[in-house]
Structure 1
Amino acid sequence: MFIHKIDDDISLKLIELRDGQRVYELTNHSRDYLKEWLPWLDATTKLEDTNEFIKFCLKGFAESNSLTTVILFKGEIVGIAGYNSINWSNKTAYIGYWLGEEYQGNGIVTKVVKALTGYAFNDLNLNKVEIRAAVENKKSRSIPERLNFTNEGCIRQAEWLYDHYVDHVIYGVLAEEWS
């Protein structure tokens, strides 16, 4: 099992089926908040939907195509983070994350993304880490900006978000730039 301790309060743990109830409850509790920027909330309406997501994540991990972890803060699951996909040919990982509304503002995601980026370079020997965020999603964009990722440009109408398209900013950092 994958467990990565970040500091005394924050760890990442490979998502498991036994996490389903807590992840579903966290999703449900933060549904309106998360729905502003995440397109999958309407498809996650019951525990079985979350469990299917977890099975999909575990399959991706078994095939070395992704790594989805729960974020543990003081021992409690507070969000999800990981590599949505890993492109081994190009040695690139694509980081995604979300955090329950009540846990925002504690620097958790910044520490998590920093740890995932370091792990990608130091342990997986990857060359690049990318993060995509909607142009108007200032909170999400502040994470790669704070960690000195390079703004590599904008993809127009990159994602359908319920009733409209949103543009995405792509951030990247290379192994040689990471310290």
Structure 2
Amino acid sequence: MFTMHVDDDVELSILEPKHADALFELVDRNRSHLGMWLSFPNKTKEAGDSAAFISRSLTRMADGGGFWAGILYKGELAGSTGFLYIDQETGRTEIGYWLGAAFTGRGLVTKAVRKMVDYAFFELGLRKVDIQTAVGNGKSRAVPERLGFTKEGVLREYEYLNGSHHDRIVYGLLKEEWGKF
């Protein structure tokens, strides 16, 4: 299916049914790492849950509403990134991402998101990309900050996770700003 070459070590590949077991195993191995900031690990109980997620993602892709891709590092599934939605009317999308703990510190997410931003602006013809992340998640916040996104605001007590409310910071990037950092 659809693959985007990022560099010699990194590729983005649309998640397909064949990835369900590897996706589940990665989530399962990183349950506490991912669960600090994301709710989906607690909802992913078996490989069938990952298969259902992939199926929903492929349906959304077929409908033009976004997709999720695996971040492959030297051929191994390291994490995922995706367009949570694609709004052609307003020309906007939001990028989400996560990475297994063993793959952090290599710039993989930054590289993947850079490729996704290029794809959003130059292949999909969108005009704005958003990224939202928990205020307390410094590693996740570093990605949009490194790529020149603008902090647009904070959504107070946006989500309830692990017994407490978390604020979420919203970053935005306009097409004409891309590459000026």
TM-score (normalised: structure 2):
0.97
Distance in 2 between residues matched to 1:149 and 1:126, nearest whole Å: 15
1:102-121 equivalent positions in 2, closer than 5 A:
102-121=102-121
How far did 1:87 drift? 1.2
Distance in 2 between residues matched to 1:156 and 1:4, nearest whole Å: 35
Which runs of 5 or more residues in structure 1 are unaligned?
Answer: none
Q: Which residue of 2 aligns with 1:3?
A: 3
How far did 1:165 drift? 1.6
Distance in 1 between residues matched to 2:137 and 2:62, nearest whole Å: 32
Query: Are 2:80 and 1:80 equivalent residues in the alignment?
Result: yes
Q: Which residue of 1 aligns with 2:28?
A: 28
Distance in 1 between residues matched to 2:165 and 2:90, nearest whole Å: 28
Count the aligned residue pairs: 179
How far did 1:93 drift? 1.1
How far did 1:89 drift? 1.1
TM-score (normalised: structure 1):
0.98
How far did 1:88 drift? 1.2
Q: Which residue of 2 aligns with 1:95?
A: 95
Distance in 2 between residues matched to 1:109 and 1:148, nearest whole Å: 15
Runs of 4+, deviation exceeding 2 Å: none
Q: Which residue of 2 aligns with 1:144?
A: 144
Query: Are 2:148 and 1:157 equivalent residues in the alignment?
Result: no
Question: How much identity, in percent, do the aligned residues show?
Answer: 40
RMSD: 0.8
Q: Which residue of 2 aligns with 1:45?
A: 45
How far did 1:43 drift? 1.1
**Can you list the C-alpha shifts for 1:92-118, whole angstroms capped at 9, x where unaligned?**
110000001100000000001111001
